[in-house]
Structure 1
Amino acid sequence: MDPLPHVIIFPFPAQGHVNSMLKLAQLLSLSNFDITFLVTLDTHDHLLNHTDVISRFGSGFLLQALPHGISMDVMNTRDGISMLYDSLNKIAKPFLREFITYSPVTCLIADGLLSLAGDVAKEINLPIIYFRTASASSFWSYFCMPDLIQVGELPLKGPILSQIRTVCPNVYTIGAVHAHLKAKLATKSTSSNSLWQEDESWMSWLDTQPPKSVIYVSFGSVAGLTKEELLEFWYGLVNSEQKFLWVMRPDLIIGREKKDEIPVELEQGTKARGYMADWVPQEKVLAHRAIGGFLTHSGWNSTLESIVEGVPMICWPRFADQQVNSRFVGEVWKMGLDIKDTCDRDIIAKSIRDLMEKRNGEFSQRTEHMASLAKKAVNEGGSSYINLDRLIQDIRSMIPPQKTYLIQLKLDFFLAAIILLPRNCRFILPINLNNSSNKCSFTFTTAVIYKYISSNK
């Protein structure tokens, strides 16, 4: 029997990255791949505490934690990102080297933010595929930045993907992984991959609201607000006189300031028209009939989830690819409003009224069209469907051919002989039973022996 592809998937330790790459892992698992999902110890514990991740996969799935490391909470501090990268470099590189040495791996799928994985893959000549949770336009900007600075190659000539393929020919544009899973599993929603405890109390409140009457507010899992920004958005929501569901993460306020001394008018306005929750299953919320708009930080996962469900957006981008995403939503796809870095209660209130009332018909028509295209792309024959299948077939082709060896040695020398064999080969051990003429042979692969040796070191 041919060996199964074994893929290590290594996400950046943030909610959106872990969520989408875990869904990719599930898609590959459904195609009969063995998966090692490598995460920080903190992420590992959060997944075990708040999700059903283990029961969702078969025996070929391993949720592997790095031996120790830094907490995700550090990302909310001033030097958090640099501290996180320093920690990952010290911990993940040696762990990956040792793990791959003793466990046959077909390829490594690493988060596009983790260049350290590429360093290890290059050292040991292992195929690597980078997973980017970003739009094509944002992705292209990384490649063209040096040339833009030097010679100013703008505007771009031709479609973005065509430009990308001139410098990176093998791009798998697989689209929204959660939409793939829903299509493949024939379900209306996918399992939660939340790193925090989800608040389910919002559902009973949302169920009582009229269709498309509620604006959903979430700024993702990393971005924070100052107390002043928090109050501007809060006043904007209340003054818009629209119903709202707001995800108020415990660490949302920068510097862990307390949201005390809340003005009475905000408390009264929220009680009359709003609902606040610590953390919610976003895909489920966006798919709810009562949601009519999304005030978002324009992370690519959030943008895709909103497109798939046909929900118009108000974009308030913060960093990375979010500015590009928000511009496409507002200026190119015409699916909502890009308020850029504006944080003014009057503009926020007006934008919400425009999205939910004044220009609702215009935006709804565009979002319904984009949702139709997104769903078509992940169904059989669609562009994302074809690219996902191409990815699966290309990974299968990375499995090195196996050689069969006939070993006729005394068992005393058995393990010593195996150590001399290449990894990923098959060998046959003939055995004479009780010195009789009856003989049999057992077929092993070096993978079994290497795993045995590794576990008994």
Structure 2
Amino acid sequence: MPTTPVQPHVLLVATPFQSHVNPLMRLGRRLAAKGVLVTFTTALRSGIRLDENPDVDGFRVERLRGGGLWELDDPRFVDPGDMAHHLSSAGPAALEALIRREAEAGRPVTCVVANAFVPWALRVAADMGLPRAMLWIQSCAVLSVYYHYLHALAPFPEADDASGSLAIPGLPDLAIDEVRPLLIYNSSQDLWRQMLVADLGSIREKVSWVLVNTFDALEHETISALSQHVPVIPVGPLLEPESGEADGCIEWLDAQPPRSVVLVAFGSLVITGDEETTEIAEGLAGTERPFLWVLRDDNRALLSKDTLDSALTAATSCGRGKVVAWCRQARVLAHGAVGCFVTHCGWNSTSEALAAGVPVVACPRWSDQSMNAKFLVDVYRVGVRGPRPTPVTRESLRLSIEEVMGGPEAEGIGLRAASWKKRARAALADGGSTDNGVQTFVDQITKLAIDVPTWARLVGSGGGG
């Protein structure tokens, strides 16, 4: 008897870090807008912001719960290693229970999409007979480096080889300083490296699609070369919706001249200590330009009271600065008053800056950030490398900002940044490369949405696959 197609239902499983949650939720909105029922889940912890009302029909948020999972305010969630170990042991039962509840409610899941660093989510989906995809939230270039390393497809330099370089098809030559911060150079006992190996070591057997937060024009050669090995689909840039409640930053930006504001934000994990925080405050005050500085509450809590008071006074007494604990970064970058972004070069921040057409001062710290900085400065040529080595000094920060906003190359940097904004918008538009990639994924999972998926027969049986 022929089966009747039903609405596909995608379950998104995120690592409980803000930089992982945001792009996966944005992918969910994009899928929901194309008629897919989407459920987003994560082991929610204190400090993670979820937009549970995304203004898109068919998008739902269900907190991962049960199975012995810690409550969201459990202090053990603070340590990333403790959190990862706990989720590896308690997460599978909680996820399986969620999938069963969805089936019993008449919403059978037809595909699971997980971030990297939750390999247990893909194992649960496989055991239940569900199709699987991964959302890779870093660049396709970084994915290619990891893949070539794990599958021994290129000779990698030793970490202590100061003159070493790396050549991979579809990528520019990379110096050792640009790849050494990647997880592959961590100890084999490192938990995050172990999870990366679990995710990517047999990725072709684990998932049918690798969705990447990038777009074709940005990494065309890299995507083309890696697609010979991995089923890559560009689905980026994954930006936050332009609608929604504005915060106080937008009102303040409205009062500033066009392209005059320096935005300083180092993501959700970078901590600046007492000395560096003071130097940033003095450097920004010395630019004689308006600036918006995001200094998170968790970072402030680690500073001495004298440092915090002095830094805030130095930053705001000039009358041109605004210091906030949080902002809607992509919306701020898209504001016409922002003319420079001092960034740690996480991939979310990198892609948001390119999509907004904002020049950068690149201040990478760890992981993929040095590679992203290379692309921003040497390949896309939309900014300069910031103060090195870190921590920054006030004068080096001031000079870097001035080079981007008023130096001899400032006009060219601005024009190239504006060009990348146009290309990002073209990719996202109806019929653009990203829109077509997302639609291809939707079409394929729609074919899988049948009345009785293989795993649905397990509901109520007590079996796991």
Into which bin does the TM-score normalised by the smaller protein fall?
0.7 to 0.9
| 1:162 is the counterpart of 2:224 | yes
Describe how 1:328-339 pairs up with structure 2 within 5 A. 328-339=375-386
Describe how 1:147-296 pairs up with structure 2 within 5 A. 147=152, 154-158=166-170, 159-168=221-230, 170-178=231-239, 189-191=242-244, 200-253=247-300, 256-261=302-307, 267-268=313-314, 270-272=316-318, 273-296=320-343
The 1:263/1:164 distance shift into structure 2, 3 A limit, reads: same
* Alignment partner of 2:421 out of 343, 363, 371: 371
* Alignment partner of 2:442 out of 392, 407, 413: 392
Q: In the alignment, is the contact (CA less than 8 A) between 1:238 and 1:266 conserved in 2?
A: no
How far does the alpha carbon of each residue in 1:310-357 deviate from its partner, in whole angstroms, 9 at most, with x for none? Answer: 110111112222111111001110000122543222211100111111
Task: Please give the root-mean-square deviation of Cα atoms over the aligned residues, in Å.
Answer: 3.0
The aligned residue for residue 399 of structure 2 is 350
- Give the drift of 1:295: 0.6
The aligned residue for residue 28 of structure 1 is 31
The aligned residue for residue 3 of structure 1 is 6
Distance 1:397 1:89 in 2: 31
- Give the drift of 1:249: 0.7
Query: Which is higher, the Rg of structure 1 or of structure 2?
Result: 1
Distance 1:243 1:112 in 2: 38
- Give the drift of 1:131: 0.5
Identity of aligned residues (%): 27
Q: Which structure shows the bigger proportion of residues in helix conformation?
A: 1
How far does the alpha carbon of each residue in 1:241-291 deviate from its partner, in whole angstroms, 9 at most, with x for none? Answer: 2221001111125x7233424686972553222111111111221122211
- Give the drift of 1:154: 4.0
Could you say what secondary structure the match of 2:228 adopts?
helix
Could you say what secondary structure the match of 1:143 adopts?
helix
The one-letter code of the counterpart of 1:178 is L
Q: In the alignment, is the contact (CA less than 8 A) between 1:42 and 1:71 conserved in 2?
A: yes
Distance 1:71 1:150 in 2: 44
Could you say what secondary structure the match of 2:448 adopts?
coil
The one-letter code of the counterpart of 2:222 is I
Could you say what secondary structure the match of 2:430 adopts?
coil
* Alignment partner of 2:109 out of 99, 105, 110: 105
After TM superposition, the score normalised by the length of structure 1 is 0.77
Q: In the alignment, is the contact (CA less than 8 A) between 2:8 and 2:449 conserved in 1?
A: yes
How far does the alpha carbon of each residue in 1:77-130 deviate from its partner, in whole angstroms, 9 at most, with x for none? Answer: 6xx221110121122111122333452321110012211212222333321111
Could you say what secondary structure the match of 1:54 adopts?
coil
| 1:144 is the counterpart of 2:148 | yes
The aligned residue for residue 372 of structure 2 is 325
Distance 2:369 2:436 in 1: 27
Unaligned runs of 5+ in 2: 158-164, 171-220
Q: In the alignment, is the contact (CA less than 8 A) between 1:14 and 1:222 conserved in 2?
A: no
Distance 1:298 1:379 in 2: 25
Q: In the alignment, is the contact (CA less than 8 A) between 1:248 and 1:276 conserved in 2?
A: yes
- Give the drift of 1:400: 4.4
Q: In the alignment, is the contact (CA less than 8 A) between 2:262 and 2:340 conserved in 1?
A: yes
Unaligned runs of 5+ in 1: 182-188, 193-197, 404-421, 425-445
243-252 vs 22-31, greater mean Cα deviation: 22-31
The 1:373/1:74 distance shift into structure 2, 3 A limit, reads: farther
Q: In the alignment, is the contact (CA less than 8 A) between 1:314 and 1:355 conserved in 2?
A: yes
How far does the alpha carbon of each residue in 1:429-457 deviate from its partner, in whole angstroms, 9 at most, with x for none? Answer: xxxxxxxxxxxxxxxxx79xx59x99xxx
25-34 vs 96-105, greater mean Cα deviation: 96-105
Distance 2:131 2:323 in 1: 45
| 1:118 is the counterpart of 2:165 | no
146-155 vs 270-279, greater mean Cα deviation: 146-155
Distance 2:34 2:252 in 1: 39
217-226 vs 230-239, greater mean Cα deviation: 230-239
After TM superposition, the score normalised by the length of structure 2 is 0.76
154-163 vs 315-324, greater mean Cα deviation: 154-163
Distance 1:72 1:21 in 2: 22
Distance 2:156 2:373 in 1: 27
Q: In the alignment, is the contact (CA less than 8 A) between 1:24 and 1:177 conserved in 2?
A: yes
Distance 1:137 1:223 in 2: 22
Q: In the alignment, is the contact (CA less than 8 A) between 2:92 and 2:124 conserved in 1?
A: yes
The 1:259/1:351 distance shift into structure 2, 3 A limit, reads: farther
Could you say what secondary structure the match of 1:65 adopts?
coil
The 1:238/1:166 distance shift into structure 2, 3 A limit, reads: same
- Give the drift of 1:376: 0.8
Q: In the alignment, is the contact (CA less than 8 A) between 2:8 and 2:37 conserved in 1?
A: yes
Distance 1:214 1:373 in 2: 24
Distance 2:253 2:289 in 1: 13
